[in-house]
Structure 1
Amino acid sequence: MVEVFKTNVSKRQQADLLVALIARTFPHYHASFDLEDCDKILRISSVGGDICAAGVARFMQDFGYEAEILKDELCYLPSIMELGFQPFQTHES
């Protein structure tokens, strides 16, 4: 399972400290930041089950940071049939 949060963490040193604290507080979680992204992304993954998004947000708030869960946005991709492609046809000799 993976959850993605928008944060206001801006410095690598802050992010590294938070990753270490998350690992100690939530032993089954793996955290990483993407500070190059405009949303200063925090990704949390868990091998051991669900992620408590509210707990992560509260944890971040306790340290003076914001963390807002980003909802999955599914985009529509047309099927190959809708694009006009035809299935492969075999040619018999």
Structure 2
Amino acid sequence: MLDLEVFRTTVDCPVAAAALRGHLLARLPCPARISFDLDDCDRVLRVHTPGQWLDVQTVAAVLRESGYHCEPLPD
């Protein structure tokens, strides 16, 4: 079961990251753990939904709706 995904994003602002985290929490299964690493060159987004399937299209749609891009990083 895929319940952890790591994404490369275009998010570059801590305020935007906090807002996106809230939007993602509202749309993803509970309990979801969401974190951004904006210091990483890929501005990494990690999404973990323990024991529940994670829909990467939902994550991409939430970021796209806010004007950002994300793509899953290869394993």
Give the TM-score normalised by structure 2. Answer: 0.87
Q: Residue type of the partner of 1:70?
A: L
Unaligned 5+ runs, structure 2:
none
The share of aligned pairs that are identical, in percent, is 35
Name the structure 1 match of 2:62: 59
Q: Which has the larger radius of gyration?
A: 1
C-alpha distance after superposition, 1:15-56 (max 9, x if no partner) = 011111111121422211000100000000001411101111
Q: How many pairs were matched up?
A: 72
1:47 alignment partner, one of 34, 46, 50: 50
Q: Higher relative CO (CA 8 A, sep ≥ 6), structure 1 or 2?
A: 2
RMSD: 1.1
1:34 alignment partner, one of 14, 37, 42: 37
Unaligned 5+ runs, structure 1:
73-93
Give the TM-score normalised by structure 1. Answer: 0.72
- Which structure shows the bigger proportion of residues in helix conformation? 2
